[in-house]
């Protein structure tokens, strides 16, 4: 090769390096963060926290479910109008007044239908899975239904180390609000169960045992892939994802139902790596399914947020870190945009960590901390509006003094 061609090649290479770096920097600067709204405040301690937020958006109205842990505390649904404005109107609504502690709500919302599933403390170590629905945009709520109705710790699962974790449940709803799916884990028999309503939440089926037998199914997640633009291979399927907690190299498993939850395909591994892979959430963008989880493979002393991608639900891309020092990720998408937020578990770190892709998951922006968010628990969840606005809820406050439910909005240019 002549010297002249070498010079041109090096010049082009330099140009590419400079311009691609520049694009990322400009995009990062252009994330438009809204104000952080304080949705609720609470104290410190098991019976004083406000905690476990979940979020959905319907048109211009944002709904935030959370647990208010006064003694016997209940699930609250905050209706937020004008969430992108400093003058947001926040109306808290009690979903159900129940005798026992009510924790770990999972929220589904389509049209004017909202349903919340949660863990209800019954007595001693007995917790059950409750669900309640509203058909009028959260104004009035039906009586809660007990889905698990057994005398063991429903919604809890033990890690291989022996620690018991709550929050092992998820709710999903079809776009017409008629079909509702609730999945949860049972501590005692280490299995997952599914209960389904096909009449808009008026009645639910008896619990049906799912795959996961004997592998400590942690943090089950459901996603109904019924969007108009869902890829043909996934269209109208119900995705079930979970992590097995049976050993320190646990992996994500995924399975699909094509018949409304009656039967599921054999589980496949969405990760297959030597680290502890936990807490999956998944979303479709373009023709692919994206799952995030926290994982010690790329960060043995802590955990990173990893991404694994599939275009057929069977073969998966495997382990790729997209956020450093994170746990309990949440993922959303709109078109080619993919958004990921997670709890910040860097030593001494605080605030929700965030990254995004504008090219369908090929590249991700450098890690950000969302301004004005703070620990101590974070627990972020995300919803993406039709106009591309991203809504992220988290638990902030002051460690050992107070907790608050935070809602932040952000938008890409
Ligand atoms: Ca209660
Ligand atoms: Ca129970
Ligand atoms: Ca693993």
pLDDT, one tens digit per residue, over 294-335 is 999 999 999 999 999 999 999 999 989 999 999 999 999 999
pLDDT given at position 15: 43
Three-state DSSP state, 17: helix
**Separation of alpha carbons 323 and 302, rounded Å:** 12
Q: Ligand 3 mean position to 267 CA, how many Å? A: 15
Question: pLDDT band at 20, cuts 50/70/90?
Answer: very low
Question: pLDDT band at 158, cuts 50/70/90?
Answer: confident
24 Cβ neighbours under 8 A, 6+ residues apart: 363, 365, 366
**Separation of alpha carbons 180 and 111, rounded Å:** 13
pLDDT given at position 50: 97
Ordered by start, the domain boundaries in the chain are 1-30
pLDDT given at position 246: 80
Q: From the CA of 149, which ligand is nearest? A: 2
| pLDDT, mean of residues 139-163 | 93
**Element (H or E) spanning 32, and its range?**
strand 32-42
pLDDT given at position 16: 43
- The closest alpha carbon to 107, from 128, 136, 82, 138, belongs to 138
Question: pLDDT band at 30, cuts 50/70/90?
Answer: confident
Given a cut of 50, whether residue 19 has pLDDT beyond it is no
| pLDDT, mean of residues 189-213 | 91
Given a cut of 90, whether residue 22 has pLDDT beyond it is no
Question: pLDDT band at 159, cuts 50/70/90?
Answer: confident
Phi and psi at residue 7, to the nearest 5°: -60, -45
| pLDDT, mean of residues 343-370 | 95
| pLDDT, mean of residues 170-175 | 98
Sign for the CA dihedral angle at 226, 179, 177, 405 comes to negative
Q: Ligand 1 mean position to 172 CA, how many Å? A: 22
Question: pLDDT band at 161, cuts 50/70/90?
Answer: confident
Cβ neighbours around 1 below 10 Å, total: 6
Given a cut of 90, whether residue 292 has pLDDT beyond it is yes
User: Which structure tokens are listed for 228?
Assistant: 């108009």
**Separation of alpha carbons 205 and 226, rounded Å:** 21
Burial-class residue 45 by CB neighbours within 10 Å (0-12, 13-18, 19+). Answer: exposed
Q: What is the pTM of this model?
A: 0.92
**Mean pLDDT of all residues belonging to the chain:** 92
**Separation of alpha carbons 411 and 393, rounded Å:** 15
pLDDT given at position 163: 86
Q: Ligand 2 mean position to 159 CA, how many Å? A: 18
| pLDDT, mean of residues 195-212 | 93
Three-state DSSP state, 311: coil
| pLDDT, mean of residues 208-227 | 87
Question: pLDDT band at 160, cuts 50/70/90?
Answer: confident
Burial-class residue 32 by CB neighbours within 10 Å (0-12, 13-18, 19+). Answer: exposed
pLDDT given at position 212: 60
Three-state DSSP state, 400: coil
pLDDT digits (tens, 9 = 90+) for 35-86: 899 999 999 999 999 999 999 999 999 999 999 999 999 999 999 999 999 8
Q: Ligand 2 mean position to 148 CA, how many Å? A: 6
Q: Ligand 3 mean position to 273 CA, how many Å? A: 4
Q: Ligand 1 mean position to 119 CA, how many Å? A: 10
35 Cβ neighbours under 8 A, 6+ residues apart: 86, 372, 408, 409
**Separation of alpha carbons 102 and 121, rounded Å:** 6
Question: pLDDT band at 150, cuts 50/70/90?
Answer: very high
- The closest alpha carbon to 246, from 286, 277, 223, belongs to 277
Question: pLDDT band at 29, cuts 50/70/90?
Answer: low
**Separation of alpha carbons 339 and 180, rounded Å:** 25
pLDDT given at position 213: 56
**Separation of alpha carbons 333 and 360, rounded Å:** 9
Q: Ligand 1 mean position to 408 CA, how many Å? A: 27
Q: From the CA of 193, which ligand is nearest? A: 2
**Separation of alpha carbons 239 and 251, rounded Å:** 16
111 Cβ neighbours under 8 A, 6+ residues apart: 58, 175, 176, 177
């Amino acid at each position: 090769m002549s010297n002249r061609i070498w010079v041109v090649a090096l010049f082009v290479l330099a140009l590419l390096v400079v311009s691609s770096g520049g694009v990322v920097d400009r995009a990062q600067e252009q994330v438009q963060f809204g104000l952080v709204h304080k949705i609720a405040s609470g104290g410190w301690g098991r019976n004083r926290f406000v905690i476990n937020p979940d979020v959905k958006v319907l048109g211009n109205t944002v709904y935030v479910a959370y647990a208010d842990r006064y003694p016997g505390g209940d699930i609250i649904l905050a209706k937020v109008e004008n969430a992108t404005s400093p003058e947001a109107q926040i109306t808290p609504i009690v979903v159900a007044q129940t005798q026992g502690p009510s924790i770990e709500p999972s929220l589904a919302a389509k049209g004017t239908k909202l349903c919340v599933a949660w863990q209800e403390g019954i007595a001693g170590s007995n917790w059950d899975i409750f669900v309640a629905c509203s058909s009028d945009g959260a104004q009035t709520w039906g009586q809660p239904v007990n889905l698990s109705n057994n005398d063991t710790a429903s919604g809890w699962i033990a890690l291989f180390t022996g620690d018991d974790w709550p929050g092992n449940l998820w709710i999903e709803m079809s776009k017409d609000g008629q079909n509702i799916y609730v999945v949860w884990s049972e501590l005692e028999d280490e299995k997952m169960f599914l209960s389904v309503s096909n009449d808009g939440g008026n009645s639910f089926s008896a619990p049906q045992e799912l795959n996961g037998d004997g592998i400590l199914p942690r943090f089950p997640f459901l996603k109904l892939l019924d969007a108009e633009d869902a890829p043909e291979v996934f269209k109208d399927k119900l995705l079930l994802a979970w992590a097995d907690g049976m050993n320190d190299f646990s992996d994500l498993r995924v399975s699909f139902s094509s018949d409304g939850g009656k039967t599921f395909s054999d589980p496949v591994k969405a990760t297959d790596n030597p680290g502890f892979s936990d807490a999956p959430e998944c979303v479709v963008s373009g023709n692919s399914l994206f799952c995030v989880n926290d994982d010690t493979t790329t960060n043995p002393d802590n955990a990173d947020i990893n991404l694994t991608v599939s275009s057929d639900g069977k073969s998966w891309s495997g382990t790729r870190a997209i956020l450093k020092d994170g746990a309990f990720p949440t993922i959303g998408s709109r078109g080619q945009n993919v958004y990921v937020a997670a709890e910040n578990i860097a030593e001494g770190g605080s605030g929700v960590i965030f990254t995004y892709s504008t090219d369908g998951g090929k590249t991700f922006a450098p890690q950000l901390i969302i301004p004005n968010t703070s620990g101590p628990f974070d627990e972020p969840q995300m919803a993406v509006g039709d106009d591309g606005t991203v809504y992220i809820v988290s638990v902030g406050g002051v460690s050992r003094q107070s907790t608050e439910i935070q809602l932040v909005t952000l938008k890409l240019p």
